[in-house]
Amino acid sequence: MSSAQIFRHDAEDSLAYLNICVTGMKNIETKWLYDFLTLEACRHFSQAAEERNISQPAFSRRIKALESAVGVLLFDRTTSPLQLTEEGKLFHSQTRSLLQQLECNLDELSGHNLLGVPNIKIAAAHSLSLTMLPRLVHSMAAWGEEFVWHVEAIDVVQAVNTLREGKSDFIFSFRDEDLMQSPFCGLKVFESELYPVCAADAQGQALFDIYQPQAPILNYTSTSYMGRLVNRHLAEVGGISARTLFMSSMSELLKNMALDGHGIAWLPAWTIVNELRDKRLVCLQTPELMVPIQAYIYRMDTRLNKTAEHFWRILYNHMPEDLVSLT
């Protein structure tokens, strides 16, 4: 058994007699909540029961008892593997946040967290994590706020899943219509643009003309957020018969390819400040091809743990200037 599993079971033992009152007069046993999280992770009753070290019939009864207590079905049993219902998705984020806060409190009481430094868990888009996170950490430290930062740089789709599943407190990503609606809420950090850029010739002029036939494009993968944004914008502008020479979801890789003279790339303004200043990259004289972009901090629209709520209030009331001026 791993140390994380040992701690989880220790926390359960400590909370064995703690009942959480929800929806009317119903009581929920804490172990049922851990059962619920385990089943969501495994998506199979037999595997989850084995993980929880109980028989499958007993495990199934506990899941049914939980659903009876909250008054809704949490899992769609008609699918394989199991899927959360819409009510289950909402309950999942609340449950994980609640148990994390309880375990944190127990940790402090037992002396495991002697420094008492609160934890913040963030999932961030790759292109934002490299620039935005260091500035955010610096700003928080300057204000006297101390956190232990847990940051995962993953793609936007993965980031949304970690937020929905309660594996992160926040995600730093770009504007997404789905994330602007319940059960999410967002706070705008900055507005910027993706610049169409390429390497320069000896006279400092762009090596390529985007409107020339077969001009080489260094594009984002079509399934990535940036790829969808750029492709939609190019389709709206029209009149371009360029060819895609190279594709990647990583803007840093596309920048290196552009620096080496392989083609035209659309890169975030905040990532190419030095390259434009030093004339290693030049922006095409095509303002109609600049792609607007917005960065947001998102969270679930439910109450988070105490530390996460404190962090959110700071950002809501005092967005760091060096983030707003990131462009």
CA triplet 254, 267, 244: central angle to 5 degrees? 50
Q: What is the pLDDT of residues 15-67, one digit of tens each?
A: 443 344 343 335 788 889 889 988 988 899 999 999 899 999 999 999 999 99
Task: Report how many domains make up the chain.
Answer: 3
What pLDDT shows up at residue 327?
A: 53
- Are 286 and 299 part of one and the same domain? no
CATH number at residue 43: 1.10.10.10
Q: What six digits make up the tokens of 134? A: 């260091």
Write down which residue in 55, 78, 110 finishes a domain: 110
| 61/55 Cα distance (integer angstroms) | 10
- Are 236 and 123 part of one and the same domain? no
- Are 151 and 197 part of one and the same domain? no
More confident residue, 12 or 134: 134
What pLDDT shows up at residue 117?
A: 63
Mean pLDDT on 248-261: 93
CA triplet 259, 264, 266: central angle to 5 degrees? 95
Residues of the chain with pLDDT > 90, as a percent, come to 31
What pLDDT shows up at residue 323?
A: 64
How far does Cα 294 stand from its chain's mean position? 15
Q: Is 146 in contact with 116 (CB distance < 8 Å)? A: no
What pLDDT shows up at residue 270?
A: 86
CATH number at residue 287: 3.40.190.10
Question: 42-51, 126-135, 151-160, 288-297: lowest mean pLDDT where?
Answer: 151-160
- Are 106 and 156 part of one and the same domain? no
Could you tell me the pLDDT band of residue 141, with boundaries at 50, 70 and 90? confident
Q: Is the pLDDT of residue 14 over 50?
A: no
- Are 136 and 197 part of one and the same domain? no
For 7, 93, 149, 274, 291, the CA distances from 137, given in Å and listed in that order, are 29, 25, 8, 22, 28
What pLDDT shows up at residue 22?
A: 40
Q: Is the pLDDT of residue 201 over 70?
A: yes
Provide the angle, in degrees to the nearest 10, between the axes of the packed helices 86-110 and 156-164. 70
- Are 47 and 9 part of one and the same domain? yes
- Are 187 and 200 part of one and the same domain? no
- Are 199 and 179 part of one and the same domain? no
- Are 25 and 99 part of one and the same domain? yes
How far does Cα 9 stand from its chain's mean position? 28
What pLDDT shows up at residue 41?
A: 85
Q: Is 137 helix (H, G, I), strand (E, B) or coil?
A: helix
Q: What is the DSSP letter of 224?
A: S
Mean pLDDT on 310-326: 75
Spatial CB neighbours of 68, under 8 Å, sequence gap ≥ 6: none
- Are 83 and 149 part of one and the same domain? no
What pLDDT shows up at residue 111?
A: 44
Range of the domain at 179: 119-191+294-324
| 94/100 Cα distance (integer angstroms) | 10
Burial class (CB in 10 A: 0-12, 13-18, 19+), 54: middle
Q: List the one residue out of 298, 316, 308 whose CA is nearest residue 100.
A: 308
- Are 66 and 163 part of one and the same domain? no
Question: 13-22, 146-155, 245-254, 300-309: lowest mean pLDDT where?
Answer: 13-22
Specify the pTM. 0.65
- Are 181 and 302 part of one and the same domain? yes
Q: Is 65 in contact with 19 (CB distance < 8 Å)? A: no
Q: What is the pLDDT of residues 229-246, one digit of tens each?
A: 899 998 998 888 889 999
Write down which residue in 110, 135, 161 finishes a domain: 110
Q: List the one residue out of 55, 77, 62, 54 whose CA is nearest residue 30.
A: 62
- Helix (H) / strand (E) containing 103: helix 86-110
Write down which residue in 67, 87, 110 finishes a domain: 110
Q: Is the pLDDT of residue 274 over 70?
A: yes
Q: Is the pLDDT of residue 142 over 90?
A: no
| 240/210 Cα distance (integer angstroms) | 7
